[in-house]
Each structure stands twice: as structure tokens, then as C-alpha cells.
Structure 1
Amino acid sequence: MIQSLKSVFKIHELRQRILFTILILVVYRVGGHIPLPGVDTEALSIAAQSFQNTLLGLYDMFAGGAFQKATVFALGIMPYISASIIIQLLGAVFPYFQRLQKEGPEGRKKLTQLTRYGTVAISALQGYGVAIFLQHMNAGTSAQPMPVVPNPGMGFVLLTVLTLITGTMFIMWLGEQITDRGIGNGISLIIMIGIMVRFPNVIFKEVTLISEGVRSLFAEVILLGLMVLTIGFVILLTQGTRKIPVQYAKRVVGRKIYGGQSTHIPLRVNTAGVMPIIFAQSLMFIPSTITTFMGDVEWLQSAMRIFSIDHWFYWLVFGLLIIFFTYFYTAIAFNPTEVADNMKKHGGFIPGIRPGKRTAEYIDNILTRVTLPGSIALAIVAIFPYILMNVMGIDYDLASFFGGTSLLILVGVALDTLQQIESQLITRHYDGFLKSGKLRGRRRF
């Protein structure tokens, strides 16, 4: 491992890519500390304490804490992600977007352009909502008001909307620069860094608890062991695949012979990735978000007891929603009929299965069976942090690193970046991080 790390910095191009990526991420973090003009940051820090278990808290996690601080990067990269998801969903419904997805580089270029336009539109809508929301926030009382925006008005709204749109587009540009000139997927790395910035604060809290005698060193060792086991389980879930063997018949084109090879279709156990948890969590946070805005309404407070994150009913509904959205998003992300048609066009077939409709049905049947354990495992990973909060009494910031959206994103992005570095090393005849040149996280189920 040490020798491989040395090899990384021996290769000039790879070293330049890594340093460029680090520089861009530093720029992103600096922008995450520049507050919006016209906002009282002290009053905002007091008023934002109610964000933690609401939809705003989920949004703040993707923005790397910038939303809670009302910085120029307050919207983060979420408008771009939302626009990308909308374009992808439209591709499953409208023929125009389906054609663009099949047109190769030109089609992808057009989809990227539409995604950028969508990002501007979503940023404008969300920026207007943030401006209005900030104007109505008050950290004080009716007797001693402490408004977050001392001088509200249309000027503040327009300036805030323009600033937030610019911030989001700049983040999107930074992500594209990392993808083109750095290492790894730029957008994913930006989200990952936004999550990781909370980890030093979590460590500081745990050290303080040990020094004050609130938590024993033995309990911390147990937590560390659980974290290692959980990360290992998430790696297996992320890398697990079911391989379907495929053979290609020999074809004679002119004087050349094509095909005659054996390969496989890797069906991932978790094809949907982290998206089911994001969708399910967004729905589960709606009641608490409404309660935050509605105030102390008695019947809402009573209903919120069963939608609290420490209630078993919340865990049950959350898990069922994750299973549902896993199947839903897998059906959108992977089309067995399209895969079967492409195989048939290129002379490929699954041994013992007729090409065409029967092949599509066979792939769909296997995908359905593989997705079930994957969705259940995904639900367990998502619920595990809430169980730890109840059993061991740890706070939300620490628990979020034991599962859920945070851990899945961290593991997925880290594995993807590591694979890209590994391929760069092997291409230049260096040993990778493993002698075989493959990550051991790959498993066949």
C-alpha cells in the first residue's frame, strides 16, 4: 500500500490531476464560508438549530453545512442533481429524451445542456424560497426580536436569488473541471467533501465526552468496531454483482472475423445506489418540516410522535419506502428489453435462452430476485443509525457515519475514485493498490 501511494506521486500526470482536484475542493470549501449579503449570521446560527431532523437538514448535508450558514453556496449542488434526476425520469417517459439518450456523444451533449438550463431554473425557484424563508426567520422572541435579515425587502430577495444561482453554477463548473482535469467524478467528490467536513467535529465531540467521563473508552472501541463492520458491509453491498454469462457468435465481415467470445452482464445487487434512501428520507422528513413551519399545533405534535426518528413506526415505514423506491429506480436505471435488443443486434445470447423477448424476461426475472435482498440490505443500512441513537445514545452527527445516505455516498465515491487511480497505475505498468489490479470489494452473488 505504501509503495503504491509512492507510485501515485511518481507519475507526473496523475500527480497533477490529484493536486488539481485538491485545489478545486479547497476553493469549494472556502466558498462554503462566505455568507450571503444582508444576513445576520449570529441570529441564523441560533435559528438554524431546528433544522437537524427536517428536510432542510437533509438539504444542508448535501450542501456541506452551507445552507445552515446561508453562504453563497447555500444551495450546494442539489439543483444540478435534481435537474439530472428529472432529465433521467423524463427519458423513461418521453420519446424525445429517449432518442437523445441513444444518440451517443451528441445526444449526451444536448442532455447536458438541458440539465444546465434546468439547474438554473431550479436554482432560481429554490433561491427565491430561501430568500423569503430567511426574511421570516427570527432567533428572538416577540418582545426581543432578532431577525435573521435586518433589512428585508425586494432588494434582498433579488440579490439573494442572483447570488445563489451564481454559487450553484460555479459549483457545477468546479465539478466539471474535476471530472475533466482531475481524478474521479467531480460532482460526487463535492458531495463527499461536504459530508466529510462534519467528521472532525464528530471526533472532537467524542474526545470531549471521554475526557468528561460521559462515555467510556471501551464504548468508543465498540463504536469503532461497529463502524468498521458497517463500512465493510456497505462495500460488499456496493460492489456485489450477479453475473449473467453471455456468448457472442462469430461473424465474418469482409476479411475479418468478429465475435466468438464469452463475457457477462454484471447485475448489481444495489443498482439504484443511494437514490432510494434520498427519496424515502425526503418523504419521511415532510411531516417534521411541516410541523416546524406550523408551530405548536396540538394535533400535529401528537401525530409527530409516531414520525419521530426514535419510533419503530418511523423505521418500518422508512424501510418499506426504501424497498419500494429501490425497485422503482432500478426499473428506470436498467432496461432489460433494451439490453436484450442490443445483445441480439450484435449476435450475443445467453446460453440456453432464446434471444429477444425470452432473454429480456430472463434478465428481468434475475434482476427482480437480486434487487430484493439488495433493497432489504439498503433499508437495514439506512435504519441502523437510528437504532444506534436509541441503544447507545449517540448523537445524530456521529450516527450518520454508521449508515444511511452519508456512508453510502462516502463508500461509493471513495471506491470509484480508488478504481480510477488504480487503472491509471496499471496503465503505466505500476502495481495497483492490490497486486491483482482489482478491488477486493468485488464479489459475486
Structure 2
Amino acid sequence: MGSSKTHELRNRILFTVFMLAVYLLGKSILLYGVDTSDRSGMNGQYMVTMMFSGDRYHNTLMALGIMPYINASLLVQIITAFRSSDARAKISKQRSDRWMFITTVVIAAFMAVIQSADVSLLPGAGPETIVRGVVMLEMFAGAMITYFLCMKNEDLGVGASMPIILVNILTSLAGSISANHFFRYPRLMVVCAVVVAATVFMENSIIKIPLQRVSIHNIHADQNYMAYKRNPVGIMPVMFATVAFVIPRYFVRMLTLIFPENVRLAEIRKDMVMTKPEGIAIYLVIVVVLSVAFSFIMLNPMESARQLQRNGDSIIGVYAGEKTKKYLVSLVWRLSLVSGLLQAAGMALSLIMVLRGEVSLPLAMMPSSAMILVSIICSTAQEIASYRRYDAYKFFF
């Protein structure tokens, strides 16, 4: 009887490397008829979303990048979370994947229409309507390729969509650091260092809620607990705040296409940027609101309380039922609010520098990029550690 190792970690890392190679290849394929010398896309809106989009100037096959996928993922999770526990139990993996696919198609098509209208075309590329149609289809195709890469990486690789976001962040950071002379701004460097340290602590720190389980009566009974991270949903609020901030801009842009002569719409679109106090305030409020909202949607403390009562378990020192629900709701509320405020504060420090004219917006986005980067690294490291432990087992057959 021999033994064999699964090499699960090695196989998953190799697949993720392959997935990233395909994605990077797509980033090197230029869209047909697009003027690559035009840099007008390098404005505040695109700097905010550059970590999610495929390229800086939106002129390659991966122009939409991962935004349709992550938006679809978020919507499906929210819809699922609002269903009852019995209804969620009946949702199969195939059904959930079908919802993801349909939602991604709708979002990718909408974004392709809006984004293709903003690119500059070469004069001799052909009739403008046809060329823009081709560009729109190419953008849509790139978004769907990214969707399939993420779905396959979720099953066969490491980190699902996180490696693509990591690549985009590293690309944007490298460009911003070299082009904007990051090391000439010691205050911004201090802000980034503080943000990184706080994110590492929050990502690797948990609060243990001791449980009394009726089915466990042994020497390990006192080791049962519920665990909540100090930032309950990680860096999701910062990631999706950037998306939520530009969604209204997409709709305003669509209205300007329908009503090109409307001066007021053009002014509103111009004012929806993060270089003005109003835009910054809206962005920071979105971060805090999403932190609280995502925490209640993903953790669902009311459902956790019902499950504990249904199983006959309880939190030590807290009565089951309504008391447990109030305790968990209060805990999630405090954790999410503090986490959101800390994340917003880290962003506020750098964005205030923009208002004062001390740094440019690309540099001001460094703290948010650093938060997301560190969060991805921590979560990926934890996933890799779990696969390594799996590989440590020897299977006999």
C-alpha cells in the first residue's frame, strides 16, 4: 500500500499563472481603429477605477477589465442574502452561476456601449458608426473572457478574481509612483505606511465569541466560538465605493449621448469628480455606508442568531433568541462602523492633500490601492496556507 500527495497547491498556482498570462495577453491586444495617442481617458473618473479596468487608457481588449464580473458577483450575493435560509438552501451552484452569467452579460453590454462612445478613433479606420460598433463588441468580448477566466480560477486556481485585481493594482501603482514622483511626498508616504499597518492588523485580527454547544461535552467544549474579523467584510467597501462612485457618472454620460445639446447634463458630468469637496465627501460616505451594509448582508447576524437557537446552542452569558440577536446585531454594527470610519479616514487624509494642491489625484489614490493590495495579499496567503495544509496529508490507496 503506497501513499500519494495531491499537489493541490502547485496545480492551483500553475492554473492561476496561466489565467494571468491569458489576461495580460488580452491587455496587449489593441482595439480596432482606436487612437492610442489620445490620453483624454486619464482623468479623475478612470484613475478611481483603474484598479478594476483592464488598461489605463481603455484602448485594449480588456478595457472593461474585471468591473462587470465583480459588479455581477456583488449583485448576486446581495440578492441571495435577502432570500430566506430555506430559499438559499435550494439555490444550486449551477443556478447561481447562471445568474452570474446573465448579470455579467447585462453589465458588460451596458458598460461597453458607454465606454466605446468615449474613445477616440483614427480618421482612416472606416465609418464611425461601424468602427464604434466593432469597438463595443471587442470590449464586450474582453469582459466575457475575463468573466470565464475568473470563474475557472475560482474552481481550479487561487484567489478567484483577486489575482487580476492584484495585477491591475501593481500596474497602476508602478505607473503612478514613477510618473508622479511618489517618494517626494513624505506625508503621503506616512499615510500609506499607517494604512498598510492598520489593514494588516485588521485583516489578521479576529474577535472570538465563546459558544456553548449542546452536542459537545468533552475537553474541547471551551474552545468553541464564533469568529468575526475586526473589519468584517475586509476591503470590499473601498473596492466597491470606487465603483458606486462612478455608476451615476455612467448614467449621466448615457443621458448626454441621448441629449447632446443639454448643457446642464454636461456640467453635472464635469462636476462628478473626486477633486472637489462634494465629490470627496460623497465618496467617503459611500465607504462607510457600504462597510455597514455589506457587513449585515454578508454576515447576517439575525440569521446567525436564529441558527444558534435552532441548534440549541448559545453564546456564553447571553440568552438565546432575541437577546442573542440584539447582541450580534450590535457587535456587527460596531465592528462595521469602526472599520468603515477607519478606511474612510485613511482615504480622507490623502484626498485633503488633493484639495490643497499638494498631490495629484493619482497619488491620492495610493492609500486605497495599498489597502486593497494588502488585503488581497493577506487573503491569498491564508488560502495558500489552507491548500498547503491539505497537501500535507498523505492519502493511502
* TM-score, normalization by structure 1: 0.73
State the 1:111 CA deviation: 0.8
Find the counterpart in structure 2 of residue 394 from structure 1.
Answer: 359
CA distance 1:234–1:75, change in 2 (3 Å): same
The separation in 2 between residues aligned to 1:408 and 1:148, in whole angstroms, is 44
Kept after mapping to 2: 8 A contact 1:131/1:157 = yes
Find the counterpart in structure 2 of residue 111 from structure 1.
Answer: 96
Whichever residue aligns with residue 375 of structure 2, its letter is: G
CA distance 1:13–1:259, change in 2 (3 Å): closer
CA distance 1:32–1:308, change in 2 (3 Å): closer
Find the counterpart in structure 2 of residue 173 from structure 1.
Answer: 148
Q: Give 1:140-159 correspondences, 5 Å limit.
A: 151-153=127-129, 155-159=130-134
The separation in 2 between residues aligned to 1:311 and 1:414, in whole angstroms, is 32
Kept after mapping to 1: 8 A contact 2:8/2:387 = no
Query: Given the alignment of the two structures, is residue 354 of structure 1 paired with residue 324 of structure 2, yes or no?
Result: no
Find the counterpart in structure 2 of residue 25 from structure 1.
Answer: 20
Deviations 1:308-327 (A, max 9, x none): 64555544443333322322
Cα RMSD (Å) of the superposition? 3.7
- Ranked by relative contact order (alpha carbons within 8 Å, sequence separation 6 or more), the top structure is 2
State the 1:13 CA deviation: 4.9
Query: Given the alignment of the two structures, is residue 268 of structure 1 paired with residue 229 of structure 2, yes or no?
Result: yes
Find the counterpart in structure 2 of residue 76 from structure 1.
Answer: 65
State the 1:354 CA deviation: 2.0
The separation in 2 between residues aligned to 1:148 and 1:78, in whole angstroms, is 31
State the 1:65 CA deviation: 1.9
> Which shifted more, 68-77 or 17-26?
17-26
The separation in 1 between residues aligned to 2:124 and 2:304, in whole angstroms, is 54
Kept after mapping to 2: 8 A contact 1:386/1:399 = yes
The separation in 1 between residues aligned to 2:99 and 2:336, in whole angstroms, is 31
The separation in 1 between residues aligned to 2:352 and 2:86, in whole angstroms, is 45
Q: Give 1:283-432 correspondences, 5 Å limit.
A: 284-285=245-246, 309-389=274-354, 393-401=358-366, 403-404=367-368, 406-428=369-391
Find the counterpart in structure 2 of residue 35 from structure 1.
Answer: 30
Kept after mapping to 1: 8 A contact 2:64/2:139 = yes
SS in 1 for 2:225: strand
SS in 1 for 2:128: coil
> Which shifted more, 185-194 or 275-284?
275-284
Flag structure 1 segments of 5+ consecutive residues without an equivalent.
Answer: 1-10, 139-145, 210-214, 431-445
Find the counterpart in structure 2 of residue 188 from structure 1.
Answer: 162
Flag structure 2 segments of 5+ consecutive residues without an equivalent.
Answer: 1-5
The separation in 1 between residues aligned to 2:156 and 2:333, in whole angstroms, is 38
Kept after mapping to 1: 8 A contact 2:159/2:380 = yes
Whichever residue aligns with residue 44 of structure 2, its letter is: N
CA distance 1:319–1:240, change in 2 (3 Å): farther
Deviations 1:364-417 (A, max 9, x none): 12222222222211211222321344568333333322x22x223211211111
Find the counterpart in structure 1 of residue 39 from structure 2.
Answer: 46
Find the counterpart in structure 2 of residue 249 from structure 1.
Answer: 214
State the 1:285 CA deviation: 4.8
CA distance 1:118–1:310, change in 2 (3 Å): closer
Deviations 1:52-82 (A, max 9, x none): 212x44344311326x232211111211222
CA distance 1:24–1:286, change in 2 (3 Å): closer
Whichever residue aligns with residue 197 of structure 1, its letter is: T
Find the counterpart in structure 2 of residue 65 from structure 1.
Answer: 55
CA distance 1:119–1:295, change in 2 (3 Å): same
The separation in 1 between residues aligned to 2:269 and 2:47, in whole angstroms, is 20
CA distance 1:279–1:424, change in 2 (3 Å): closer
* TM-score, normalization by structure 2: 0.81
The separation in 1 between residues aligned to 2:32 and 2:312, in whole angstroms, is 62
The separation in 2 between residues aligned to 1:147 and 1:248, in whole angstroms, is 72
Kept after mapping to 1: 8 A contact 2:305/2:324 = yes
> Which shifted more, 296-305 or 14-23?
296-305
Deviations 1:110-146 (A, max 9, x none): 1122111221222223223333444xx57xxxxxxx7
SS in 1 for 2:385: helix
Aligned length: 384
SS in 2 for 1:382: helix
Kept after mapping to 1: 8 A contact 2:203/2:231 = yes
> Which shifted more, 369-378 or 317-326?
317-326
The separation in 2 between residues aligned to 1:126 and 1:312, in whole angstroms, is 27
Kept after mapping to 2: 8 A contact 1:131/1:156 = no
Q: Which has the larger radius of gyration?
A: 1
Find the counterpart in structure 2 of residue 162 from structure 1.
Answer: 137
